Structure 1
Amino acid sequence: MSRKYYDDFSKMPVDKMAQSISDMTYSYKGTMVPKKHYKDILDKELQELASNDINIERMLLQPYIDMMSKMLKENSKYFYKALLMVELKAKDTAVEINAINTAYDAFDDSKLKNILNEDIVEVFENVKKNGVYVADEEEVN
């Protein structure tokens, strides 16, 4: 198997990566982008990049979504109990596990199957419908 440029590139320190990207950019129609521009981007934390780029955020969220979907399919009862424990910051004590069991039973008996606060669902639906949050449901044109 032949070696590719990426094989060496992925092992470079950030400074050399930035210079290589700058060189590659220049080789395309003489476009000049300073090495510092790429170095600043490569030095950023993924969370910081994600806050500015929806595609990076999607990439970071996907493993969590996949894992939670799998857990929900495998055993929805324990999935919801775990969510309750995390949300309520419950400890692994007999009293708090009993409290979680009782809270879960109330949730399960309600047949609503909606563990989210209605206000959170309303904000989500509002932004999904309008593209941004619109108070008092004024339509965005």
Structure 2
Amino acid sequence: MSTKIYDDFTKLPVDKMAQEITNMTYGYNQTNVPKAHYKKLLSKPIQEAMEASVSVQLVDTIYNTLNGLFSENSLLFLKALICLDKNIKPKNLTAQEYQALQISSEAMANGCEKKSHPPFINEEISELFDDVLENGEHYVLKNNKE
């Protein structure tokens, strides 16, 4: 005899699993999600599910690298970001570009606190992120079309 619901759940066929998840979801504030939604998710090839996981792992690696570089020397990091944004190769900087890079990176750095950093993305993208986080993709896309 199983000791937990999970033990029996893992032995169910996909159709019954989907129904059980629908029932559990309904138990939370009577949230109704159709069985077909869960059946579709449970039937996805493992490769599709793994792609998202691998993507998150890669983003985490890049995040840790960027965060380390910023912590090590924020001014050089900001200069590199400006070069990326302006599509300037640091090896080919002219004297004018170097002067503009120096002044603009220092202005960005002055906006930073010791442990913080300036916003790296523009305000519109930041607001989009916040809207999707708070309201979901469908709500945001529907409102943007109007």
Question: Given the two structures, how large is their TM-score scaled by the length of structure 1?
Answer: 0.52
Q: How does 1:12-91 map to 2 (within 5 A)?
A: 53-91=51-89
Q: Is the 8 A contact 1:126 1:137 kept in 2?
A: no
Residue 110 of structure 1 deviates from its aligned partner by: 4.5
Distance in 2 (CA, whole Å) between partners of 1:83 and 1:133 is 32
Matched, 1:105 2:106: yes
How many residues are matched? 92
In the alignment, the residues of structure 2 paired with residue 95 and residue 123 of structure 1 have an alpha-carbon distance, to the nearest angstrom, of 35
Q: What residue is the counterpart of 1:33 in the other structure?
A: none
Q: 1:124 to 1:89 in 2, by over 3 A?
A: same
% same residue: 24
Deviation at 1:105, TM superposition (A): 2.5
1:119 maps onto 2:140 in alignment = no
C-alpha distance in 1 between matches for 2:135 and 2:51: 20
Q: Which runs of structure 1 show a deviation greater than 6 angstroms over 4 or more consecutive aligned residues?
A: none
What is the CA-CA distance between 1:58 and the residue it aligns to? 0.4
**Deviation per residue, 1:81-133 (Å, 9 max, x gap):** 11111111113213322211121123234458223210011111111112216
Question: Aligned-pair RMSD on alpha carbons?
Answer: 3.2
Q: Partner letter of residue 88 of structure 1?
A: K
In structure 2, what residue type is equivalent to 1:82?
A: A
Question: Where do 5+ consecutive residues of structure 2 fail to align?
Answer: 1-44
Deviation at 1:57, TM superposition (A): 1.0
Greater relative contact order (Cα < 8 A, sep 6+): 2
User: Once the two structures are superposed, what CA deviation does each residue of 1:22-77 show, in whole Å capped at 9, x if it has no partner?
Assistant: xxxxxxxxxxxxxxxx9xx6xxxxxxx68x84212102222211111111111111
Aligned equivalent of 1:128, options 123, 127, 133: 133
Mark the runs of 5 or more structure 1 residues left unpaired by the alignment: 1-37, 42-48
